[in-house]
Amino acid sequence: MTTGSADPVEAVGVAPAADPGFLQRYGATIEYILIPGAALVGALATFGLFVALFGKNPLDLYFYMYQGAFGTWFSWQNTLTRAAPLILTALCTALPAQLGMVIIGGEGALLIGALSATSVALAMPWASPLVVQTAMVCAGVIGGGLWITLAGALRQYRGVNETISSLLLVYIGLAVLNHLVEGAMRDPASLNKPSTREIGAANMIGSIPGTDVHWGLAFGLVAAFASYILIYHTVFGFSARVAGGNIRAAKIVGLGINKLILIICFLAGGAAGIAGMVEVAAVQGRTNANLAAGYGFTGILVAFLARHNPLAIIPVAILLGGISASGGLLQRRLGLPDASVLVLQGIIFVFVLASDALYGRIGFLKGKS
Amino acid sequence: MADGSLGLWTVPLAVFGGAIRVSTPFLFVSLGECITERSGRINLGLEGTLVMGAMSAYGISYLSGSPWLGVLAAGITGAMLGALHAGICSLPRVNDIAVGIALMLFGTGLAFYLGKPLIEPTAARLPAIDFGWWSDVPQVRAALRINVLFLIGIALAPLLYWAFKTTRWGLLIRTAGESSDAARAMGYSVLAIRLRATMVGGFLSGIGGSFLSLFYPGSWNEGLSSGQGITAVALVIFARWDPMLCLWASLAFGGAAALGPALQSVGVTSGYHLFNAAPYILTLAIMIITCSPKRTLTGAPAELSITR
């Protein structure tokens, strides 16, 4: 629960009052870019070594990773398409982190959001596409939001650890989805892969003009910017950060902690719920077990790598979207298994967390104080 | 009766057999996590350790032909992952819960990567002892085919209980978990104690994983573990950090997990997925009932980050 603990130490270590030079002013920012960047480079180097153990050339690896992620317009589009749900699921971890909570149930909220959105779309076949799409967004937000609010409420009212409960809710969510998809909501025509009926081509949200990138990216960007403004430029966000920094101080000044936690959890789950809605309305067209593609788990990594800053989530999500987009090329050209993306993600995660120890310890950033 | 038509009696019998079979991984992971958490650290990465253990056990058993070597390899792999967790956590300002999540992703990813060539071949499996020789009913015999690892696990629980209570090491681990200052004042390194406790925890979890791939279900594939590791971590909280309660809780969870397949075998298929989620729902329900926001849980190590 001490995810944000680096900040106060930072203030002491990096910005002494005297001599307001460049390093004093921007030292913390440089550190926030430099340390995760170094961790990323270290992780890539380690992964290169790992691949070299299997007789592959690491330079080929980096080349194909770049090619598959950002090398061509095609791969850029693939990367951005994958980044969209990652931005949204990362918010599911990053928003509660402002309050010092570690929520890792984005995958569950995504599944429930997708299921709710599909149910609403199937329930109103008469309505015009715009109405259906709006209803789907609302259903996704409410479904995903309530799912994570449950974890938040359990922590606040019953003292249940939110990390464990949110992860358990992922498995429960998947079971609910499978139960409905193979039972009450099953399309009899789907034989091999049990699925719900399709929401209909007219109700799909389609691509951003001129690209193959679906509108989910716009949802992600809007959600990230809105979260940034909410956290850093509103009274609500300020109280959330106060509560996350020092719960006792927040209680003394009379902040309603319960309400804060519930609202933040609802917004967090809502973001992941939109990711589910987008996956249905822009990619799959229906709900089935394909939706459990691990976006929720990669989102946790994105949030930690971005240090839970909603704006930093955007480039980090694009980066990790790129890594997962390059997986196909690595498989075809280098014969690496599809799980290599997972291994790399795991290595990056380990390096980023270990790099937390470096904050405030880099000699030249201490501002000669 | 001998023709195997037991009717609805199949269900409790299968649940009983399942409680024995399915509970073994729960038992090993929860006992391992119990040791780690008693030393004041929580390792959420045991899900990854479990999958890595399952993969390495299967691989070594396939290559060497000896399933017991596989079990050993799984334990060593688990201990190495435990050492990695403890090593990173001993750095200043590093959150042990976050490291656990990272190792969960890393462990499963690595296992899928290295285990790709192992999906096809068949490895030598662990032997079972037939305790059902006295019965003519095939279901009873099936339920009583008990693996040695389960018996080791059952013996381990009271042993750990005794070790925590009376031995020097048990006391040291508890001291590190209750007050790191006290352990330091006695001249012991808290980090070293936690390193060893996490490694032992990883060792046991790896063995739990070997049971998955070498006995039940008894093959290696990417869907082998679906949250057993994390359920076992939650189970330790429910068992109040008491090895004997871990044993009873694991048995209950094994029974709950066997409910879905048992009902399916008698033709109740409608709620199959919901029954499969029974262990998770049970965990959550138990945590809701037993936790309280007003006080820390009785028996909780004071240094543990989730109870502070």
> b vs e for A303-338, b when ≥16 Cβ sit within 10 Å of the residue's Cβ?
bbbbbbbbebbbebbbbbbbbbbbbebbbebbebbe
pTM of the model: 0.88
**Closest residue, chain B, to A168 (C-alpha):** B280
Could you report how far apart the first and last alpha carbons of chain A are, in Å? 31
**Contact call for residues A106 and A174 (beta carbons, < 8 A):** no
Q: Chain A within 8 Å of B283 (Cβ-Cβ)?
A: yes
**Quick check: A357 and B92 CB within 8 A?**
yes
Residues 6+ apart with CB under 8 A from A125: A200
Query: Within the 208-237 window of chain B, which residues sit less than 8 Å (CB to CB) from chain A?
Result: 226-227, 230-231, 233-234, 237
Burial class (CB in 10 A: 0-12, 13-18, 19+), A121: buried
Note whether A89 and A272 are within 8 A (CB): yes
CB contact under 8 A, A168 and B234: yes
C-alpha span between B66 and B73 (Å, rounded) = 11
> Which of A179, A343, A346 is facing B271, going by the closest CB pair?
A179
Distance CA A255, CA A4 (A): 19
* Cβ count near A181 (within 10 Å): 24
SS in 3 state form for A232-274?
Answer: HHCHHHHHHHHHHHCHHHHHHCCCCHHHHHHHHHHHHHHHHHH
A14, A28 contact by CB (below 8 A): yes
Which tens digit of pLDDT belongs to each residue from A7-34?
444 444 444 444 567 777 777 788 888 8
Would you give per-residue pLDDT tens digits along chain A (369 residues)?
344 444 444 444 444 444 567 777 777 788 888 888 999 999 999 999 999 998 889 999 999 999 999 999 999 999 999 999 999 999 999 999 999 899 999 999 999 999 999 999 999 988 899 999 999 999 999 999 999 999 999 998 988 889 889 989 999 999 999 999 988 888 888 878 889 999 988 889 988 888 889 999 999 999 999 999 999 999 999 999 988 888 788 888 877 889 999 999 999 999 999 999 999 999 999 999 889 988 999 999 999 989 899 999 999 999 999 999 999 899 999 888 888 999 999 999 999 999 988 887 777 666 544
The closest alpha carbon to A50, from B110, B111, B79, belongs to: B110
Closest residue in A to B282 (Cα–Cα): A168
Counting Cα atoms < 13 Å in the Cβ hemisphere of A251 gives 4
Give me the pLDDT at residue A368, please: 42
Residue A93 one-letter amino acid = T
Please tell me the distance in Å from A155's CA to the nearest CA on chain B: 8
H or E element, residue B190:
helix B190-214
Q: Indicate the burial class of A233 (C-beta count within 10 angstroms; 0-12, 13-18, 19 or more).
A: exposed
CA distances from A194 to A23, A180, A183, B75 (A): 58, 10, 9, 38
Residues forming beta bridges with residue A288, ordered by sequence position: A195
Give yes or no for a contact between B37 and B177, defined as CB atoms under 8 angstroms apart: yes
Burial A25-49 (b: 16+ CB within 10 A, else e): eebbebbbeebbeebbebbbebbbe
Query: Mutate which of A147, A148, A170, A171 to test chain B, going by most B C-beta atoms within 10 A?
Result: A171
Q: Tell me what pLDDT residue A4 has.
A: 41
Give the integer Cα–Cα distance in Å for A337 and A129.
40
Can you give the length of chain A in residues? Answer: 369
Residue A229 amino acid letter: I
* Torsion angle in degrees (nearest 10) through CA of A330, A331, A336, A338: 110
Q: Kindly state whether B110 is in contact with chain A, defined as any CB-CB distance less than 8 angstroms.
A: yes
